[in-house]
Amino acid sequence: MGQQAMFERLKEACHDDWRAYVEHPFVRQLGDGSLPKESFQHYLKQDYLFLLHFARAYGLAVYKSGSLHDMRQAQGMLSAILDQEIDLHISFCAEWGIGQEELEALPEASATLGYTRYVLERGAAGNLLDLHAALAPCVVGYAEIGSWLIGRPDTRLEGNPYRAWIEEYADPGYQEVAQAEIAQLDRLAAEEPGPRRFAELAKTFRDTTRLEIAFWDMGLNLSA
């Protein structure tokens, strides 16, 4: 199998974990509208903190880049998070009764700490490819979740309080972001072939996928 299929190879290497992430009970309950309001609010709060660290990860990607193309790709994602996504998230939180002052004062839950620091550690210890292997489960996974929910018979959009969230990640604009991340991962991987390297990347990808599962668990269980 060629290196251009790297993302699919990584996903297949942790197939059961990936399905547990994309089809998590938290996700299913978003789809049918049964998720408790408190669970969604807890998730939104911690996701705000997650976005801040994700922005730092793309700042690290700029530093780790060895070409102008890679720097611009990372800078584009950094700008999108800082200039658009965080503002949208703050507005979304406000609609759910969560003010910016509360967001600024939030303590990080254990799942948030574990996930974000792992991504930053992999980027700091490894190279740009290692960092993208840690970033991809979030960026691409949310697009897959959005598509899965939109196409799932049990998903209810009419009257669903989580409809805006579902449609945000099913939107063609976000799907394009995910495809760009896949293309970047595949391109970087093509420069570093070999089974040993794949095993390293697969471990990072699997670890991050499991941390995504823990993040959903945190929201569902209201874990601190």
CA atoms of 24 and 150, how far apart (whole Å): 15
Question: What pLDDT score was predicted for residue 207?
Answer: 98
At 213, list the tokens: 């599962």
pLDDT tens string 48-62: 999 999 999 999 999
> Long-range contacts for 201-205 (Cβ within 8 Å, ≥24 apart)?
201/6, 201/10, 201/129, 201/130, 201/133, 202/9, 202/10, 202/13, 202/14, 204/122, 204/126, 204/130, 204/133, 204/134, 205/10, 205/11, 205/13, 205/14, 205/133, 205/134, 205/136, 205/137
At 97, list the tokens: 């009764």
Instruction: Supply the pTM of this predicted model.
Output: 0.94
* Residue 4: pLDDT band with limits 50, 70, 90: very low
At 29, list the tokens: 């309950």
Question: What pLDDT score was predicted for residue 5?
Answer: 80
**pLDDT higher than 80, residue 223:** yes
Domain assignment of residue 60, given as a range: 3-221
CA atoms of 32 and 26, how far apart (whole Å): 10
**pLDDT higher than 80, residue 10:** yes
When divided into structural domains, the chain yields a total of 1
Alpha helices for 152-194 (secondary structure H): 163-170, 172-190
CA-closest candidate to residue 21, choices 11, 32, 34, 9? 11
Q: How much is the mean pLDDT over the chain? A: 95
Question: What pLDDT score was predicted for residue 193?
Answer: 83
Q: How many CB atoms lie within 10 A of CB 49?
A: 18
CATH number of domain containing 19:
1.20.910.10
Could you give the residue numbers annotated as active site?
138, 212
**pLDDT higher than 50, residue 3:** no
